[in-house]
Amino acid sequence: MLKQKVLIVDDEKDIRDAIEIYLRSSDIGVVKAADGLEALDILERENIQLIILDIMMPKLDGIRTCMKIRESRNIPVIMLSAKSEDTDKILGLNIGADDYMTKPFSPLELVARVKSQLRRFLLLGNADSNEQNTNKDELSIRGLTINKASNVVKVDGEEVKLTPLEFKIVLLFAENVGRVLSIKQIYENVWNEPFYKSENTVTVHIRRIREKLEINPKEPKYIKVVWGIGYKIDK
């Protein structure tokens, strides 16, 4: 029985079928949907570990679908789009996507990104990972609490819902309190690959984290910018 299951959401059947072939060849289970509404229905019935989500779709597009998913789930989302403008990428990341690929794309690269996101989710975001750690391992910084065993982040006792990537970024800062981390260091530690993307990939995620952690994101209490160098959390 296949352990991991990916939901492919695209209104083009040929694309759904092609992605399915490559994922199944890597022993990854697949469920398919033709639009956002069908995808949301499947999420209520199936145990899904990752979503490949096209932006341009009928009934409910990828942007609104991703926003609905993020209301209650932190599973990784890789967005697909025929558009290549940076504004579309930033929009996708801002509303909760974990990665973004522009059509036409390499199926092998997509599979590699799927595997990478699944690894992170199973280690950081999946409830089943409770089997891995039972000890209470918490880091606390001025009202911010990060529990590495349960992957829960709280601000002043209130739980904050983070995606797997966002959790890993916060944990990286918490484990390096007082140290300035460059965008390159953040990317390579969190994404586990050489830094090759634009700085927007990291800055967008940090902006999104601030919106969740801070009372006033423009005057952050936790993750602060060190101009020309990077970011840090003060002691």
Per-residue pLDDT of 38-75, as tens digits, reads 999 999 999 899 999 999 898 898 989 998 888 878 88
b/e map 78-111, b = 16+ CB within 10 Å: bbbbeeeeeebbbbbbebbbbbbbeeeeeeeebb
Mean pLDDT of 115-141: 62
Is 33 in a helix, a strand, or coil?
strand
For the chain, the average pLDDT equals 85
Is 63 in a helix, a strand, or coil?
helix
Q: How far apart are CA 233 and CA 91, in angstroms?
A: 26
Identify the residue whose tokens are 């083009």. 12
Is 154 in a helix, a strand, or coil?
strand
Q: For residue 130, what pLDDT band results from cuts at 50, 70 and 90?
A: very low
DSSP 127: G
Smallest Cα–Cα separation from 146: which of 205, 224, 230, 213?
213
What does the pLDDT look like over 164-183, one tens digit per residue? 999 999 999 998 888 889 99
Q: For residue 86, what pLDDT band results from cuts at 50, 70 and 90?
A: low
pLDDT at 105 over 80: yes
Please report the domains of the chain, with CATH numbers, ordered by start residue. Answer: 5-129 (3.40.50.2300), 133-233 (1.10.10.10)
Mean pLDDT of 184-197: 85
Smallest Cα–Cα separation from 80: which of 114, 49, 48, 129?
114
pLDDT at 197 over 80: no
pTM of the model: 0.58
Is the N-terminal amide bond of 104 cis, ω within 30° of 0?
yes
The answer to which of 96-105, 128-137, 219-228 has the lowest mean pLDDT is 128-137
